[in-house]
Amino acid sequence: MHTWIPAERNFAYLTWKQVEALPKDALLILPTAAIEQHGPHLPLATDTLINNLLLGKALARLPAELPIYALPPICYGKSNEHIGFPGTLSVSATTFMAVIRDIGSSLASAGFRRLVLYNTHGGNSSLVDVMARDLRAEFNLRVFCLFGSAGAAFTGLGAQEKAYGFHAGEIETAFLLSATPELVNTSEYTVNYIADIASPELLKPENASATFAWLTRDIAPSGVMGDPRPATAESGERWVAEASTKIAAALEAMLRYQNHFQP
């Protein structure tokens, strides 16, 4: 699989002696993503590729002296919203959380104190929040959560797509057009929105105070939630730059964070 993680910041490339020599307040990043359907035009690895792409570009922006390293990713996520689409590989919430817990335990036993859970799959988000608190309580780790593009502006993106183009839509398609165009089947674009920002309805599937549970096959026969048609490699490059800048700034803030920290 493609990687954009700089070799010098790849934790798995180190020997155990090199790991032993790292400062114990180094910032270690655990990527969490998914292998799941992304419509007819994007690969199953979309969330994992985007995670690696944005994190790798962010790490390349950091000053070389900062002790920040990327752990190998958890590629399999809680993806049961996409069950029924061939290729989706989902793990249970219990399994996903157990893996994060055990990795946290391993890091704590080696004396490390700072861990970032960097997630790029929506189905994992609530579980990541739970595990951040649990790791803090059980192992006294200082745990940080970082999601998606870290609040990037997505300059030029329409309001409807920004709100509900969250799966195989314009953003994800543009990211891969800029980074792995050979994996994007531009002849297979389909369009579907899970909700309309102009709708006055109180009850919505996402981004509302009152929501309902949904499965992708219930509301998006092709598996796409959004409109990939306007996506371009140029917009993807711009949005990767915006997102990686935000992520890099967040990582630096996490490394510096000291408030109430118990060593």
In a domain, 262, yes or no: no
The whole-chain average pLDDT of the chain stands at 95
Residue 232 sits in a domain whose CATH number is 3.40.50.10310
Strand partners, 208: none
Please report whether residue 263 resides in a domain: no
Residue 219 pLDDT: 86
240 contacts: CB under 8 Å, gap ≥ 6? 53, 54, 57, 175, 178, 179
Residue 194 has pLDDT above 90, yes or no: no
* pLDDT score recorded for residue 208: 83
223 DSSP assignment? S
pLDDT at residue 260 is higher than 60: no
Task: Identify the domain containing residue 195 by its residue range.
Answer: 7-256
Spatial distance between the Cα atoms of 149 and 240, rounded to a whole number of angstroms: 8
261 in a domain, yes or no?
no
Is residue 93 in a domain? yes
Measured distance CA(199)–CA(207) in Å, rounded: 13
Q: Which of 11-20, 154-163, 252-261 has the lowest mean pLDDT?
A: 252-261
Detail the DSSP E strand segments found in 120-227: 142-147, 203-204, 210-211
pLDDT for 225 beyond 60: yes
pLDDT for residue 261 is more than 60: no
- Least Cα distance to 55 among 10, 108, 12, 22 occurs for 10
3-state secondary structure of 145: strand
- Residue-level pLDDT at 88: 98
| Window from 127-131, 143-147, 215-219, 224-228 with minimum mean pLDDT | 215-219
The predicted structure's pLDDT at residue 161: 96
Question: What is the pLDDT averaged over residues 24-53?
Answer: 98
Q: How far apart are CA 163 and CA 208, in angstroms?
A: 11
Residue 259: predicted pLDDT: 66
When computed from its CA atoms, the radius of gyration of the chain, rounded to whole angstroms, is: 19
Cβ proximity of 61 and 248 under 8 Å: yes
- The amino acid that residue 169 corresponds to is G
Q: How confident is the model at residue 262 (pLDDT cuts 50, 70, 90)?
A: low
Does residue 1 sit within a domain? no
d(CA 176, CA 231): 10
pLDDT of residue 241: 98
Domain count for the chain, please give it. Answer: 1
Q: In the numeric block, which tokens belong to residue 105?
A: 């335990």
Pairing between strand 68-70 and 142-147? unpaired
Residue 263, pLDDT > 70, answer no
Q: State pTM to two decimals.
A: 0.96
